[in-house]
Structure 1
Amino acid sequence: MDRMLYVAMNGAKHVELQQSTTAHNLANVHTNGYKADQVAFRALPVVGDGSPTRVYQVDHTVGHDLAQGSLQQTGNERDFALSGEGFFAVTAPDGAEAYTRDGGFVLDEAGVMRTRSGLTIVGDGGPIAVPENSRVLIGRDGTVSAVPVDGGDRQAQVVGQIKLVKPGARAVYKGEDGLFRLSAGGVAPQDDTVKVVSGALEASNVNAVESLVQMISHARHYDLTVKLMQTADQNAQRATQLLSMG
């Protein structure tokens, strides 16, 4: 009885963790460039006395869904998205290089390009600085050009190139801050096959309807494990009564 109760309790615990992951994905359905977390159940054998066929389930993180979200045309020259696989590089809060698909930029007081969350966008030689009173144009290859908005000379000047990388789905992991990093450490090389779409943003790849269905499924699974715990408790009480009568 104790083992049955433990297996049911363990199942309820991990269903609750799955529900938390699904809820987190659903909460980010409108977060630009967000990639859904993925989890699954796996069976592990119960160690100890008893039947070797006994197993219990655990929540197993299998990674993230890197499928591209829909591209939404905004017409804003300070918005950009990536077409196809890949990421662009940013400087994480800890100073290390990290990767994201949440495009769009602002210029700080020094004219340095940053994401709207405040992270410095990495260029081919470091941060990308744009001269004052300039219009910023981003090419398909990530080239950043500055065009003066006043004065006689309106010639576009290349001021840098956004670092674009394509390390592959299995080579990266997603941190708690939502940024991707190389699993083996280090930095990814520039990849010229990654293309930029200016004037657009990539939406989250979370399917809201599918996530809601998953939440309902998790809730039903949780209820089932709770009923199993109640059944195990009732059986234990009846067994105790029979032993007392004997």
Structure 2
Amino acid sequence: MDRMIYLAMSGAKQILAQQEVVAHNLANASTTGFRAQLSALRAVPVQGPGAATRTYVVETTPGASFAPGPVEQTGRELDVAVLGSGWIAVQSPDGAEAYTRDGRLQVNANGVLTTGGGHPVMGDGGPITVPPDAKLTIAPDGTVSGLQPGQNASNVVPLGRIKLVNPPEADIVRGDDGLFRLKNGGAAPADAAVRLAPGALEGSNVNVVEAMVTMIGLARQFDLQMRLLSNAEANAREAARLLSPAR
């Protein structure tokens, strides 16, 4: 009897956790460069005397989907989309290097090129700084150039080159802040093969229809676990009635 209770109780709890992952993906269906989070359920035996046949259900997040998202033209000069595999290197709040596909670039009040989330974009020698009022252009190889007001195109000055990297997918992990980092820490080397599409943005790779179908399926699974618990309670009540002494 309690074997069914173990499975149903832990299964219902972990299905709720899996629903949170799917809901998080749906909430980011329109987030630029978002990578859908994956989730899975697995069985874990309970350790201890007399519990060899007991098993818990545990929800895990093995990683993220690295499938490319749709690229849409915006015409904005500071918008860039990473074509194919690759990442834009940024500086995380703790000063370490992290990676994103968010190409909504902008210049902050301190003249530093940042992403839409406010993370400084890394260049060859650190964050890229921009002169005041300079008109920026970004080349497919990540080179950022600036033109001062009143000057002609021949006076364009290179300001730096966005660090573009392409570490193996198995070597990177998503952080709680949505940025990706190397599992072992450190910084990935720049990869000259990674290219950008200026004037465009990559959308989220979340499949909304698939996520909604998954959410419905999880709701049905949760209902099944609740019915198992109800059946276990009914069986226990009936067993207690049968074993109780006659009056």
| TM-score normalised by structure 1 residue count | 0.95
Asked if the contact 1:71–1:202 (Cα under 8 Å) also holds between the matched residues in 2, the reply is: yes
Report the counterpart of residue 162 of structure 2 in structure 1: 162
Report the counterpart of residue 49 of structure 1 in structure 2: 50
Post-superposition Cα deviations, 1:195-220, rounded to whole Å, max 9, x if no partner, equal 01100011000000000000000000
CA RMSD of aligned residues (A): 1.6
**Is 1:31 the equivalent of 2:31?**
yes
Bigger CA drift: 37-46 or 208-217?
A: 37-46
Spell out the pairing of 1:163-242 with structure 2 (5 A cutoff). 163-242=163-242
Counterpart CA distance in 1 for 2:153 and 2:184 is 47
Report the counterpart of residue 134 of structure 2 in structure 1: 134
Asked if the contact 1:22–1:211 (Cα under 8 Å) also holds between the matched residues in 2, the reply is: yes
Counterpart CA distance in 2 for 1:41 and 1:90 is 33
- 1:42, CA displacement in angstroms? 1.6
Tell me how many residue pairs correspond in the alignment.
245
User: Could you tell me which amino acid in structure 2 is paired with residue 178 of structure 1?
Assistant: G
Structure 1 97/146 Cα, relative in aligned 2: closer, same or farther at 3 Å? same
Report the counterpart of residue 116 of structure 1 in structure 2: 116
Q: Structure 1: 5+ residue runs without aligned partners?
A: none
User: Could you tell me which amino acid in structure 2 is paired with residue 16 of structure 1?
Assistant: L
Report the counterpart of residue 243 of structure 1 in structure 2: 243
Structure 1 204/153 Cα, relative in aligned 2: closer, same or farther at 3 Å? closer
- 1:119, CA displacement in angstroms? 1.0
User: Could you tell me which amino acid in structure 1 is paired with residue 179 of structure 2?
Assistant: L
Report the counterpart of residue 58 of structure 1 in structure 2: 58
Spell out the pairing of 1:28-107 with structure 2 (5 A cutoff). 28-47=28-47, 48-49=49-50, 52=53, 55-107=55-107
Q: Structure 2: 5+ residue runs without aligned partners?
A: none
Report percent identity of matched pairs. Answer: 47
Structure with the higher strand share, 1 or 2? 1
Asked if the contact 1:5–1:232 (Cα under 8 Å) also holds between the matched residues in 2, the reply is: yes
Counterpart CA distance in 1 for 2:115 and 2:152 is 31
| TM-score normalised by structure 2 residue count | 0.94
Counterpart CA distance in 1 for 2:114 and 2:67 is 25
User: Could you tell me which amino acid in structure 2 is paired with residue 70 of structure 1?
Assistant: P
Structure 1 104/62 Cα, relative in aligned 2: closer, same or farther at 3 Å? same
Counterpart CA distance in 2 for 1:55 and 1:3 is 8
Counterpart CA distance in 2 for 1:208 and 1:60 is 21
- The runs of at least 4 aligned residues of structure 1 exceeding 6 Å deviation read none
